[in-house]
A and B are shown apart, each in its own frame.
Chain A
Amino acid sequence: MGKRGEVTSSAPSKLAEIFIELLVPPACREEVIGDLHERYTTRQRYFLDAVSVVPLVILSRIRRVADPQALLMEAMVLYLSFTAGAWFQDRTFLHQEIAFLRSAIPAVIVVFASVVEDAYSTSGRRQMTKLFRGPLLGIGAAYLSQTVLSLGSGALALPRWGMLYGSGLGLLFASILRIGFPPIVDRPLGAGGPAF
């Protein structure tokens, strides 16, 4: 028993560890959770350690797996896909106010989701499904964001069918791009160029 009858232990609670384990990318999970466990003295210190470590570890992992050039290409392809999809449904779309911003929102969400998915995926054998998982999750997130945007005035949301066409095109082109430019960890050592 510690001060004021507080129960003290020499290890963090299992629940806290599981929670942090979920937040830390698998590639560095083992050492980060182990180091936090070793440094454990009090619950407060463990919490402060975790708060200072987890965001930086995630950002560092994203920096390691993301290729800025490939991401820029993916963002461009998705942006054009969503714009083309909306234009295909409504030919006056491009003349509307903030039309380009409306196309940019789902594109940015898909790219962001892809990057996060890459950071949390385990490196190793290159699988085709792994390459599509990021854009697929991203499109799911983009649909969710469109639903939220539609709940308001709907001014920032893309037309429903335009979003559908854009998603199809975006998924196709983003997946092709990812086959050529997979995440850095999935590339063969010394490879910097496309994997065609």
Chain B
Amino acid sequence: MATSDSLGQFEQLVLTAILALREDAYGVTIHSKVEELTGRRSVSLGAVYVTLDRLEDKGLISSWLSDPTAERGGRAKRCYTLEALGERALQESAATARRIWDVIAEVWGKDWAREWGKRWGREAR
């Protein structure tokens, strides 16, 4: 059974992208969202496909083919959605990230945490 322990950072990013995109989660949009989440760093589309396959094998996400569209040359999209196991794994990852953040903020001080909080806020905008 898959747990968040077996989730890599890239897997967490892909799961987050699927969560954020809701019904519009397919290869191209997931790739764009992952690039956005990594801070506009270039991410290979191939790496996204590999990760999606792996997450589907772990039972964290499921997929289906949509109707073909003209903008895609008459090809269908493979849409993805989070499964209950995927949601739980993502929640555990977020909780772990929160704990890491709390420890770092405790050691490096509240000023550092406030400054980083502001910087992230600016980047998010």
Contacts and interface: CB of A to CB of B under 8 A. Distances in A.
Interface stretch (A57-65, A123-131, A141-149, A157-165): A57-65
Interface in B39-56: 44-47, 49-50, 53-54
Contacts of A57: 46, 49-50
Contacts of A180: none
Contacts of A61: 53
Contacts of A37: 71-73, 75
A31 B75 contact: yes
Contacts of B45: 35, 39, 49, 52-53
Contact of B77 (A11, A34, A39, A54): A34
A38 B46 contact: no
B71 A60 contact: no
A52 B50 contact: no
Interface string B81-120: 0000000000000000000000000000000000000000
A141 to B, nearest CB: 26
B96 to A, nearest CB: 27
Contacts of B50: 56-57, 59-60
A67 interface: no
A60 B49 contact: yes
Interface in B14-38: 26-28
Given A17-B73, A34-B77, A35-B27, A28 B49 contact: yes
B28 A38 contact: yes
A79 B76 CA distance: 43
B46 A35 contact: no
Contacts of B57: 64
A63 B53 CA distance: 10
B26 A31 contact: yes
A55 interface: yes
A56 B75 contact: no
A56 B72 contact: no
A63 B45 CA distance: 18
B73 A56 contact: no
A63 B58 CA distance: 13
B49 A32 contact: yes
B2 interface: no
Given A39-B28, A60-B53, A64-B57, A34 B46 contact: no
Interface of B: 26-28, 44-47, 49-50, 53-54, 57, 65, 68-69, 71-73, 75-78
18 contacts: A12-B73, A30-B76, A31-B27, A32-B27, A33-B75, A34-B69, A34-B72, A34-B76, A34-B77, A37-B73, A37-B75, A38-B72, A49-B45, A52-B44, A53-B45, A57-B46, A60-B49, A64-B57
